[in-house]
Amino acid sequence: MKPSIFTLLTVCLLVSACSIKDKFLIVPVAKNIKVDGESEDWCVEPLIGPLIECWKHLTDDTKLYLAHDFDWLYFAFDVADTEITYNNDSEESSVNVSDRVELFFAQDTKLEKMYYCIEIDPQGKVMDYSALHYRQFDYKWDLQAMKIATRIDNDQYFVEGAISLDQIRKLGLLSSDGKLIMGFYRGDFASSEDTNPNWWSWIDPKTNDPDFHVCTSFGSLYLSSK
């Protein structure tokens, strides 16, 4: 396996994105991150990783990077994958049969209000939708202010993006103290012939079968001001 494409440049100021008392802090960056599928602008350490697979106990080497500049929430998934599966179908729903990374945003910890889901395949194809518990999906909903870029290598892929914090606020997803309620996941097909993906999560959702549309798959993160 090749070294991670997130080998940090020595000229960058290393800022740790850390977890303190189970509060994940998303650090600010002084310079806008260019969403171009490359890693040069990323000068933070991974906030989350590896992901966990709680049903088959498979291993993973995904790294998730998060940062913000008070205008945009930036994210990047660095996914190790020796059998990358995707398709050339233009329909959003085709993401369902591709390897992908996922970000969920919730307004409340019990999922009593609408929550929002973004699923992105290795080519940058996005399936976004709103949802009500339990599994009432509205695929007509679209996230408006979002940038996505990806990169595919032989044994890994990189998904980079930015979401407008103004839009996040308007959706009721950012509290006055900077809290976000989110979930991060990965779906992976073992081969192009496989019909049942394996599932990884950033935390154990405590479900008998893979299911991230439950409140136990979400957690709290905070936008740090410094």
Domain positions in the chain:
19-223
- CB-based contacts of 91, cutoff 8 Å, min separation 6: none
How far, rounded to the nearest angstrom, does the alpha carbon of residue 186 sit from its chain's CA centroid? 8
Q: Architecture of 19-223 per CATH?
A: Sandwich (2.60)
Q: Which of 24-38, 153-167, 168-182 has the lowest mean pLDDT?
A: 24-38
> Residue 154's Cα: distance from chain center in Å?
21
Question: Model-level pTM?
Answer: 0.90
pLDDT in tens, 74-104: 999 999 999 999 999 999 999 999 999 999 9
Q: Quickly state the pLDDT bin for 22 (edges 50, 70, 90).
A: low
Q: Which pLDDT tens digit goes with each residue over 170-207?
A: 999 999 999 999 999 999 999 888 999 999 999 999 99
Cβ proximity of 119 and 101 under 8 Å: yes
Q: Are 61 and 80 in contact (CB under 8 A)?
A: yes
Q: What pLDDT shows up at residue 30?
A: 84
Task: List beta partners, residue 218.
Answer: none
Flag whether pLDDT at 40 surpasses 90. Answer: no
